[in-house]
Every structure is written in structure tokens, then in C-alpha cells.
Amino acid sequence: MKYKSLLLIIILTLLNCKNETKKQLTESVKGEQLPLKYAKGFSVKDYGTHKILEIKNPWPKAEKSYTYVLLNTNYDADFWSTEKNNYDGAIEMPIQKIVVTSTTHIPALELLNVEETLVGFPGIDYISSEKTRSRIDKGLVRELGKNEGINTEVLLELKPNLVIGFGVDGNNRTFETIKKSGIPVIFNGDWVEESPLAKAEWIKFFGVLFNKEKEADSIFNSIEYNYLEAKKLAKNTKSQPIILSGAMHNDIWFLPNGTSTEAQLLKDANANYLWSDSKGTGSLSLNFETVFSKAKNADIWLSPSNYASKEALKNGNTHHALFKAFQNNTIYSSINTTGTSGGILYFELGTTRPDLVLKDLIKICHPELLKNYDLYFFKPLD
């Protein structure tokens, strides 16, 4: 009886120790926080056997955040088989196959040298990168249709470990179908961030997914340094060229709000954007008279929507030709810098490399600066 009691005590002690270990896994009191300088839309804590990833702002005015557990190879499989249900998704590391749904995700994969994990994408013609296009041409990246209606049959056949999605409101039936099939979907909210460097810092999000936090941190630090040095250079110039942006569509002129990332880039390039005092992160919708009265003598016209030439711009609306910038041939657009299948490079790489965008704007607005720099995204409109 004495020995049975002793054995029972030992068993209970071992069970308590094991339960306490599991409790520490779930409570995660001492997790190491991933340092972020600008991005506010996600956070990460690393606990050794697993990481907890929280997406705080997947789309504008999101009413809830999403939490995911990333399980390293040394995790307790029996325990997490039930515990993972407490999260919006559980991902077993390392990730061997991934599907992303925005071209803005492609540069992060390539910079981290994990582009070989990409197996599918909705709308592969929009991808500009030569490296990823080479993999597409070899049949290593499958076409998945449109982002609003991904071909789930092909996606399930690919059996990715993870799908990186994005949404404007969270109502995407395709993503729900994918999740029900057992494939986790993580919403990427880089586009909701309110500054160029905050958006660029989402490379650390991908660094976390591939256990490449140090590499992602180093890449971002380089981008940040180049951006801030360019900003400092532009600040010393005395001239501030007057900037017009956008164009007419169906009698409405769309142009960036004053607190949008586009407007912030112009401010950092030391340019006088005419609507810099407006509030909001999206677009302004104005009539022609309002725009013309304020911007008819603007020195430079940037990003005139999707018009690829001056002729197309004039044909779109004859009023476009009345602006000084049109007459002086000082119109610049990124629409003509494309990949082999027509994907626009700016839409793909601009979010990750705001330093290159800023240098383009400085070169356009202050041609005496960055004399040895060639425009990367923007070109004069012919």
C-alpha cells in the first residue's frame, strides 16, 4: 500500500509538471516580441516551440483581429492538436508550399530567397518580376484564376501549407472554403498601413513565416536607411515644384488625399502637392473645375491614372490638354514600366521599396540631385 501511494504521488507529480509546461505554452508569459518601428497592423511573439502572430488590422475598420499559431518542428503534437482550435489558424513550420494573392507579396518572397515555395497565384500575368516569371514559364507556379473567385479545385490540388490573402471587408467565400478544407489563410494587411515605411516593414511578416527574422530585419533596415537618406537630401533644396496628380474618369477627377502614402512620399521629396492639407488615406473625388482652378499651372503632373501616353490622356478628356504640365511635357507615370506579360512593376515592388519610389520623385522634382540615378518606376509620358 505504501509503495502504491508513493507511485501515485510520482505519477501525479509528473502529470502536473507536464500540464504546467503546456500551460506555459498557452499563456506564453515570456514570449519575445518582434521589434517593429512603423507597422501597426501585426505583432509577433516567439516562444521557442511556437510563435503567436496577430493581424490587428486586416482591412479598414476591421472589427476583430486574427490570431495564428506558427508551430516549429519541436512542438508538442498531441497538445496542439486540440489547442490550435483556439486560434484562427495553425501553421506547421517550415512552410514548403505557399500561395499568395497580391503581387505586393512577391518581392518579399524573393528578397528572402524563398520564392521557390510559391506554387500558385491568382492572375499570374500581373507578376512582373523576371525571377518569378521564369518559374511561371517552367510551370512551377499555377494560375488560380481571379482573387475574387480563386479556383479552389486547383488550389486544393497544390496542397499549400498556407494561403496569404487580403480583403477589403472580410467577406470572401473562397477563403472560407479554403479554410474549411484544412488549409490556413492569413490576411495580409500591409496595404492598410498609413506610411510608406510601415508598409515596407511587412517584409518582417514574411520573415516570421519562414523563420528568417534576421534576414528580414536586415533588408528592412537597408530600405529604411536609403529612404531616410534620400529624404534628408531632398529637405535641403529650396525649390518646391507644384504637383498635380490623378486624372478624369467619367467627369470625376481622382487624386490622392493629403495623408495618403502617395502624399507623404511627395512631402518627403520636398514637393508642393496641392492637396496636401486634405485629410484621409484614400482618394479625393473632385470635379474638373475644382482641379483646374487650383492646378492649371502645376509644374509637374504625376500618375495620370492608367493613361499610357499624352494622346491617350487627351483622348480620354480634351480638358487634360489645358494644363501647363501637359503643354510643357512634364507628365510622369509608372504605367509603362512593365514585366514581359504586362504587369506593372510599381504595383508589385513599390510597396516593398519605397526608397526607390522616393528617389524617383526626387529625381523628377529636383533633377539637380541624384545625378547618377536613373528613374526606376516612373517615365515621362510620351
Tell me what pLDDT residue 171 has. Answer: 77
Tell me what pLDDT residue 31 has. Answer: 83
Range with the poorest average pLDDT among 169-173, 276-280, 314-318: 169-173
| Tens-digit pLDDT profile for residues 95-153 | 999 999 999 999 999 999 999 999 999 999 999 999 999 999 999 999 999 766 799 99
pLDDT category of residue 73 using cuts at 50, 70 and 90: confident
pLDDT category of residue 357 using cuts at 50, 70 and 90: very high
Q: What is the mean pLDDT of residues 48-55?
A: 93
Domains in the chain: ranges and CATH: 28-223 (3.40.50.1980), 237-380 (3.40.50.1980)
| Tens-digit pLDDT profile for residues 213-256 | 999 999 999 999 999 999 999 998 989 999 999 999 888 999 99
Tell me what pLDDT residue 74 has. Answer: 76
| Tens-digit pLDDT profile for residues 176-204 | 899 999 999 999 999 999 999 999 999 99
Tell me what pLDDT residue 347 has. Answer: 96
Q: What is the mean pLDDT of residues 317-327?
A: 96
pLDDT of 71 over the 60 cut = yes
pLDDT category of residue 26 using cuts at 50, 70 and 90: very low
Side chain identity, residue 333: S
**Are the C-beta atoms of residues 376 and 359 closer than 8 Å to each other?**
yes
Tell me what pLDDT residue 280 has. Answer: 74
pTM of this structure: 0.89
Tell me what pLDDT residue 147 has. Answer: 66
Average model confidence (pLDDT) across the chain: 90
pLDDT category of residue 72 using cuts at 50, 70 and 90: confident
Per-residue b/e over 51-83, b at no fewer than 16 CB within 10 Å? bbbebbbbbeebeebbebbbbeeebeeebbeeb
Tell me what pLDDT residue 44 has. Answer: 97
pLDDT of 25 over the 70 cut = no
Share of the chain above pLDDT 90, in %: 77
The CA distances from residue 250 to 287, 291, 313, 318, 381, in Å, are 10, 15, 13, 13, 22
| Tens-digit pLDDT profile for residues 267-307 | 999 999 999 999 877 789 999 999 999 999 999 999 999 99
Share of the chain above pLDDT 70, in %: 91
